[in-house]
A = this chain, B = another copy of it.
Amino acid sequence: MILDGKEIALRLQNEIRTNVEELKKRLVSPALAVIQVGEEKASESYAKNIRKEGEALGIYVEHHKLSVEISEEDLLYNIRNLNARKDIHGILVELPLPAHINKAKVVEAIAPEKDVDGFHPINFGKLFEGTTPFPPATAQAIITAIKSVVTIEGKFAVIVGRSNIVGKPTAVLLLQENATITIAHSRTRNLQDLTKMADILVVSVGKPKLIGRDFVKPGAVVIDAGINKIDGKLVGDVDFDSVKDEASYITPVPGGIGVLTTLMLFRNTVKAATLQNRIV
Q: Dominant SS at the A interface?
A: mixed
Chain B's closest residue to A169 (CB) is B128
Copies in the complex: 2
A164 is an interface residue with CB less than 8 A from chain B: yes
A96 is an interface residue with CB less than 8 A from chain B: no
Q: A129 — which chain B residues lie within 8 A by C-beta?
A: 121, 124, 164
Within 8 A of B (CB), among A185-236: 185, 187-189, 194
Stretch at the interface among A10-18, A50-58, A142-150, A172-180: A172-180
A122 is an interface residue with CB less than 8 A from chain B: yes
Assembled-state Cα–Cα distance A121/B118 (Å): 13
Task: Using known A-B contacts A122-B121, A125-B124, determine if residue A175 contacts B162 with beta carbons closer than 8 Å.
Answer: yes
The reply to whether A182 and B180 form a contact with Cβ atoms under 8 Å apart is yes
Assembled-state Cα–Cα distance A207/B182 (Å): 22
Assembled-state Cα–Cα distance A54/B122 (Å): 30
Q: A125 — which chain B residues lie within 8 A by C-beta?
A: 120-128
Q: A168 — which chain B residues lie within 8 A by C-beta?
A: 128, 172
Interface string of A140-165 (1 = CB under 8 A from B): 00000000000001101000001010
Q: A171 — which chain B residues lie within 8 A by C-beta?
A: 183
A154 CB to nearest chain B CB (Å): 5
A181 is an interface residue with CB less than 8 A from chain B: yes
Q: A162 — which chain B residues lie within 8 A by C-beta?
A: 175
Chain B's closest residue to A155 (CB) is B189
The reply to whether A187 and B122 form a contact with Cβ atoms under 8 Å apart is no
Task: Using known A-B contacts A128-B128, A128-B164, A129-B124, determine if residue A180 contacts B172 with beta carbons closer than 8 Å.
Answer: no
Q: A172 — which chain B residues lie within 8 A by C-beta?
A: 128, 168
Within 8 A of B (CB), among A54-98: none
A111 is an interface residue with CB less than 8 A from chain B: no
The reply to whether A187 and B154 form a contact with Cβ atoms under 8 Å apart is yes
Assembled-state Cα–Cα distance A9/B178 (Å): 36
A101 is an interface residue with CB less than 8 A from chain B: no
Chain B's closest residue to A184 (CB) is B180
A233 CB to nearest chain B CB (Å): 31
Task: Using known A-B contacts A121-B125, A121-B126, A168-B128, determine if residue A185 contacts B180 with beta carbons closer than 8 Å.
Answer: yes
Within 8 A of B (CB), among A240-269: none
The reply to whether A181 and B183 form a contact with Cβ atoms under 8 Å apart is yes
Can you list the 8 inter-chain pairs with the closest CB atoms, starting with the nearest? A125-B125, A121-B125, A124-B125, A178-B187, A182-B182, A180-B188, A121-B122, A128-B128
Chain A residues in contact with chain B, CB under 8 A? Answer: 120-130, 153-154, 156, 162, 164, 168, 171-172, 175, 178, 180-185, 187-189, 194
